[in-house]
């Protein structure tokens, strides 16, 4: 996530084992830039050279062409997870330096690590002092590449003036996220990020535009929070519900499906499967319970789902 931001050059402060593993995973997911890191073996950790090594790596990262942001990811072992923020520079040249703490013993899943990283960036860079753009919406959570454009088009038909997709590639979007009119967490595991928006007094809409009933309810909720024209919202929401119904009728499902996963969107997908005609008796997810997930759980239980398990380890 951090490597995909344009103008971002991450520094990783961790032991050699974590550095190897996370560098591999980062490039597996399509990173196109190097990750800088100080040499922190046993000798360096024992000698207390974590801060000095990290500062040196920050200086190198800040000299990269076009660098505007240096996220410093401290993780895994106690010596690096406890890196003192006050001993790191706030800014080097034109680059903002932001400490992102991801202690492995406290983060229970891959998606929640993304939440911690995004919340750290927004807490530092988000502009919550400017006047709110009352008809703008921040979409929170990764979706397929074309989805933000499709969602934005629907929302503009209702009267929304602009959308921001987080996490994204633009540092500018991080700055202006603090004065949107409302937040829509498409993925419910972004708890720390959502908490920050609530602190900024930005209203939050639950649910996601998935399936027939889910999309209809979500569009209506967005319209209500942003005080859009009710008639216009009804027309768009009803048309979208009818389109979803036509697609489900054209491709019905049958049979029993067990849904399990680690990305936090399993309940929303289970709803779609049920709407398409499948029986879904069991759903599990790696994320914890949250009020934003409760409507999906109640909907599923009312339609035959017997067991919904949170914090499930794969």
End-to-end CA distance of the chain: 23
Question: In terms of DSSP bridges, do strands 11-13 and 69-75 run parallel, antiparallel, or are they unpaired?
Answer: parallel
Query: What is residue 24's predicted lDDT score, i.e. its pLDDT?
Result: 76
Whether the Cβ atoms of residue 206 and residue 141 lie closer than 8 Å to each other: no
Give the pair of three-digit tokens for residue 104.
């492995």
Q: Is 105 left (phi over 0), alpha (psi -120 to 50) or beta?
A: alpha
Domain count for the chain, please give it: 3
In a domain, 54, yes or no: yes
pLDDT under 70: residue ranges of the chain: 29-31, 45, 76-79, 81, 104, 314
Task: Tell me how far CA of residue 196 lies from CA of 169, 190, 262, 304, in angstroms.
Answer: 20, 10, 23, 36
Domain that holds residue 165: 133-247
Query: What is residue 112's predicted lDDT score, i.e. its pLDDT?
Result: 85
Q: Which of 195, 219, 247 is the last residue of a domain?
A: 247
Query: What is residue 17's predicted lDDT score, i.e. its pLDDT?
Result: 74
For 148-165, write each residue's pLDDT tens digit.
Answer: 999 999 999 999 999 999
In a domain, 118, yes or no: no
Q: What are phi and psi of 270, to 5 degrees?
A: -60, -40
In a domain, 240, yes or no: yes
In a domain, 115, yes or no: no
In a domain, 184, yes or no: yes
Query: What is residue 230's predicted lDDT score, i.e. its pLDDT?
Result: 97
Let me know whether 101 and 148 are in one domain: no
For 65-104, write each residue's pLDDT tens digit.
Answer: 999 999 998 876 666 767 888 899 999 999 999 999 887 6
Let me know whether 184 and 285 are in one domain: no
Whether the Cβ atoms of residue 219 and residue 239 lie closer than 8 Å to each other: no
Which CATH number does the domain housing residue 241 bear? 3.40.50.1980
Let me know whether 168 and 243 are in one domain: yes
Nearest to 172 by CA among 237, 110, 140, 127: 127
What pTM does this model have? 0.91
Let me know whether 142 and 233 are in one domain: yes
In a domain, 121, yes or no: no
Query: What is residue 81's predicted lDDT score, i.e. its pLDDT?
Result: 65
In a domain, 85, yes or no: yes
Give the pair of three-digit tokens for residue 303.
């339609």
């Amino acid at each position: 996530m951090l490597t995909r931001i344009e103008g971002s050059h991450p520094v990783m402060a961790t032991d050699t084992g974590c550095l190897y593993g996370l560098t591999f995973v980062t490039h597996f997911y399509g990173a196109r830039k190097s990750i800088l890191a100080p040499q922190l073996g046993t000798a360096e950790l024992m000698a207390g050279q974590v801060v000095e090594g990290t500062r040196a790596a920050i200086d190198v990262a800040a000299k990269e062409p076009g660098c505007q942001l240096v996220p410093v990811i401290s993780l895994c072992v106690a010596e690096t997870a406890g890196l003192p923020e006050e001993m790191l520079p706030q800014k080097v040249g034109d680059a903002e330096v932001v400490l992102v703490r991801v202690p492995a013993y406290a983060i229970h899943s891959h998606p929640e690590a993304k939440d911690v990283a995004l919340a750290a960036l927004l807490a530092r860079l988000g502009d919550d002092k400017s006047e709110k753009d009352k008809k703008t919406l921040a979409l929170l959570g990764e979706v397929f590449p074309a989805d933000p454009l499709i969602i934005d088009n629907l929302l503009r038909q209702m009267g929304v003036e602009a959308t921001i997709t987080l996490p994204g590639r633009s540092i500018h979007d991080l700055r202006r996220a603090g004065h949107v009119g409302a937040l829509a967490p498409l993925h419910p595991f972004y708890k720390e990020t959502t908490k920050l928006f609530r602190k900024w007094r930005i209203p939050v809409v639950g649910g996601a535009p998935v399936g027939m009933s889910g999309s209809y309810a979500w569009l209506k909720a967005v319209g209500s929070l942003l005080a859009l024209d009710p008639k216009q919202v009804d027309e768009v929401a009803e048309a979208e519900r009818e389109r979803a119904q036509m697609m489900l009728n054209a491709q019905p499902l049958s049979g029993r499906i067990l849904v399990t996963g680690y990305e936090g969107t399993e309940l929303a997908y289970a709803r779609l499967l049920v709407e398409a005609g499948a029986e879904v008796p069991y759903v599990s997810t790696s994320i914890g319970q949250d009020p934003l997930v409760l409507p999906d759980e109640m909907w599923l239980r009312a339609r035959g789902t017997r067991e919904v398990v949170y914090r499930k380890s794969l």
